[in-house]
Amino acid sequence: MREEILDPQVKKRFYIKNLLKIIRLTRSNREKVLNFIEDTHHLDEPMLDLFEGTGGPMEEGMIYLLFDSKNGSKNPNDYDSVFRIFWILGPDLTYHQIDSFLLSTNPNLPSKQWRRFSETNFFKNLSKEKFHQEMSEKELEFTFDGTWEQGYSFRFSDNIIGLSGDLTYNPISPKGTLLYYNGREAVAPQLLQKFYDSFAIEVSGKLQVDNREIDLDGGRGIIEHGLGIFGIENIYEWRWLDLQGDNCSIHIFYHPLTLQDGSDIIDAGEGAALIDNQWYHFLIDDFVIEELEYEPDDNIPTKIPNLWNFRAGFNSLGTENQIDLRIEKLKHHSWFGEASGTTRHFTTNYFLQFQGQFKGEELKGRGTMEYLFERVIE
């Protein structure tokens, strides 16, 4: 159970280039955070971020792929695997991270996970006009490139996981994106960031697994991109939930915050759903994720949840317009998250199945959850 202790060394130019942002961080307090959350309004239609360029004080990107490793089925109910690459780039903080994992219920496709931290920048070819990032190292070679309007290309060879691909990511619908907090920069202690998720994505192309090629014409994916300044010391937990069905894509981010002295927890979060090509927007009071059962974990000193109820709807979860789902774990992998000072984080990534209803219509499929938390579950 190895634990990573992170201590990024901040370069002087970081303070010079980001002085105004740092001042905004230091002036953040409970009242300002609550006002910011309350000033986020329901949207009838999704906003699109006009800026998809890379760079900034810190950048993070996360690229998901859900797929059927046996037959390449287009039906999300047949998916048996999920692959994810995540990176953080902090050039003026001497902090760079890359990690990936594969979770699969296919016994011939072993689940694996790895990560790497470095003071040296191993990324290259940033772009101010589009979402472009790439690296070429012995563990991983990848290039991600594109825009929401033009689509994205994702070429990678993960030499530890043993998976490579040449893929195209295209929106299922122009509505399948969530620009958090009405497109504003979120400001809280140790967090000043603008970020978006493209959550209704169809993936096509070819995967190479152990000398076997999979024609992938019906995979699903998600793209997350954030720019700003952010740390995890004040994140009490987060649940980053993505569900994909044949008639729906549902995405929720729940991230309660602690103040710097650890004395308070402020609920925050947001989500969206695309159901039968209709877009729905959820604020923090519109959804509930309830943990129902727990099990021990071999990798971290705490139990983890393995069964959930998820409800989302308007009017403080009134029965009208309410999504009601039961979510079950199919596969998971846990590890110590980053630790800083006295704060420890545990991380679990899940491959899930779900079933439920919305307005009398059945919703079911497969999905993922990233769960980072501080509390120990006995």
Burial level of 324, CB count in 10 A (0-12/13-18/19+)? middle
Prediction pTM value: 0.92
Chain centroid to CA 123:
20
What is the spatial distance between Cα 124 and Cα 143, in angstroms, rounded to a whole number? 10
Tell me which amino acid residue 233 is.
Answer: E
Paired tokens of 249: 């894509």
Q: Is the pLDDT of residue 263 over 70?
A: no
Percent of the chain with pLDDT strictly greater than 90: 60
Can you name the residues that pair with 104 across neighbouring β-strands? 81
Tell me what pLDDT residue 322 has. Answer: 87
Q: What is the mean pLDDT of residues 6-25?
A: 76
Phi and psi for 213 in degrees, rounded to 5? -100, 135
Q: Is the pLDDT of residue 7 over 80?
A: no
Q: Is the pLDDT of residue 319 over 70?
A: no
Closest among 129, 106, 137 to 212, alpha carbons compared: 106
Local confidence band at 317 (pLDDT 50, 70, 90 cut-offs): very low
Phi and psi for 36 in degrees, rounded to 5? -65, -45
Q: For residue range 96-148, what is the model confidence (pLDDT) as tens digits?
A: 889 999 999 999 999 999 999 888 888 887 788 899 999 999 999 999 999 99
Are 8 and 92 a contacting pair, CB within 8 Å? no
Local confidence band at 40 (pLDDT 50, 70, 90 cut-offs): very high
Q: Is the pLDDT of residue 1 over 50?
A: no
Q: What is the mean pLDDT of residues 329-336?
A: 93
Tell me what pLDDT residue 212 has. Answer: 87
Q: What is the mean pLDDT of residues 236-250?
A: 94
Tell me what pLDDT residue 6 has. Answer: 54
Q: What is the mean pLDDT of residues 294-318?
A: 86
Q: For residue range 49-58, what is the model confidence (pLDDT) as tens digits?
A: 777 888 778 8
Paired tokens of 344: 């420890």
What is the spatial distance between Cα 307 and Cα 73, in angstroms, rounded to a whole number? 26
Phi and psi for 107 in degrees, rounded to 5? -65, -20
Percent of the chain with pLDDT strictly greater than 70: 92
Q: For residue range 346-358, what is the model confidence (pLDDT) as tens digits?
A: 899 999 999 999 9
Q: Is the pLDDT of residue 362 over 90?
A: yes
Three-class secondary structure of residue 83 per DSSP = strand
- Every domain of the chain and the residues it spans: 4-373
CATH domain 4-373 topology: AttH-like fold (2.40.370)
| pLDDT top residue among 187 and 201 | 201
Report the chain's mean pLDDT, rounded to a whole number.
88
Q: For residue range 156-178, what is the model confidence (pLDDT) as tens digits?
A: 999 999 999 999 999 999 999 99
What is the spatial distance between Cα 283 and Cα 272, in angstroms, rounded to a whole number? 9
Phi and psi for 37 in degrees, rounded to 5? -65, -45
Q: What is the mean pLDDT of residues 220-241?
A: 86
Q: What is the mean pLDDT of residues 65-74?
A: 93
The sign of the CA dihedral 213, 215, 218, 224 is: positive
